[in-house]
Chains A and B, each alone.
Chain A
Amino acid sequence: MPYTLNGQEASITEPNLKDGTMWVPLRAVSEALGGNADWDPDNRVAIVYLGTNIATLKIDDATADVNGEKSQLQEAPYLEDGETWVPVRFFNLVGQQVRVNLQDKHIEMTTVA
């Protein structure tokens, strides 16, 4: 299993390593962590609710809005096959401790806030 989320193995779409950045599917990971995601088709913005955090991410824009604060992502989110992909480090911004093993392509996340 490529993910361990809050101590549980998660069977979701595998992460994708591209140009040194580890990408993960936003909705799948958010839901596996107990949150949820929404989609604003008019502005092409993905919305994530995770714990008390609210984040909005615009496709092809590396600036995310997290709880009203602008945060810079490693790379801009993109769409592929109807799924929004984000750099895994995005989840640091919404209360997750993230550990990435690039060799095994394994991701471990633990909710800290």
Chain B
Amino acid sequence: MQQVWKRNIANALLGGALVLALAGCSGNNASDSTLPPGTVENVVNDTRETAKDVGVAVAITPKVKSALLANESLKGTSIDVSSVDKTVTLTGTVTNNAQKSLAGNIAKQQAPDFQIVNNLQVKGGASPVMNKKPAN
């Protein structure tokens, strides 16, 4: 009989704890509704903006890449294009400084709103003087 009484008390305590825990959860939910108006909306908008930027950056990469590949002067070069946020980065190798400069200018033309980081390496390290010497 005494054991039954103890079990009833334990069940009551457990039930109370559950009620308190649930109340705590609902209390948290209640506090969400007290956030300043627009807070959640702002987070959603920020996320959308970020997604939009990522989308634009992703879309610009093939555009720049195809423009570089199509150019007569850049055939046979090895240029990689990557875009993150508002920056387009060119990496790889070209054979002279005129090609490096051309690639950077084409990238800027294709992605005018982006910063262009021209990390192209000139194979053989031709000096700028050598490129100024011949024709035109």
Q: Which residues of A contact B102 (CB under 8 A)?
A: 38, 40, 47, 54, 56
- Determine which of A52, A65, A83 lies in contact with B136 in the assembled complex, contact meaning CB atoms within 8 Å: A83
Classify chain A's interface size: 20 to 34
Scan A17-46; emit 1 where CB is below 8 A from any B CB, else 0: 000000001110000000001111111011
Q: Which residues of A contact B101 (CB under 8 A)?
A: 38, 47
Q: Is the C-beta of A68 less than 8 angstroms from some C-beta in chain B? A: yes
Q: Which residues of A contact B98 (CB under 8 A)?
A: 38-41, 45, 47
A27 to B106, CA, bound (A): 19
Scan A65-95; emit 1 where CB is below 8 A from any B CB, else 0: 1011000000000010011100000000000
* Residue in B70, B71, B98, B135 whose Cβ sees the most chain A Cβ within 10 Å: B135
Q: Which residues of A contact B134 (CB under 8 A)?
A: 39, 41, 82
Contact A26 B136 (CB under 8 A): yes
Given contacts A27-B135, A40-B131, A54-B109, list 15 more A-B pairs with CB under 8 A.
Answer: A38-B131, A39-B132, A40-B98, A40-B102, A42-B96, A43-B72, A43-B73, A45-B72, A45-B73, A46-B135, A56-B71, A58-B72, A58-B73, A61-B72, A65-B70
Contact A79 B71 (CB under 8 A): no
Classify chain B's interface size: 20 to 34
Contact A37 B136 (CB under 8 A): yes
Q: Which residues of A contact B48 (CB under 8 A)?
A: none
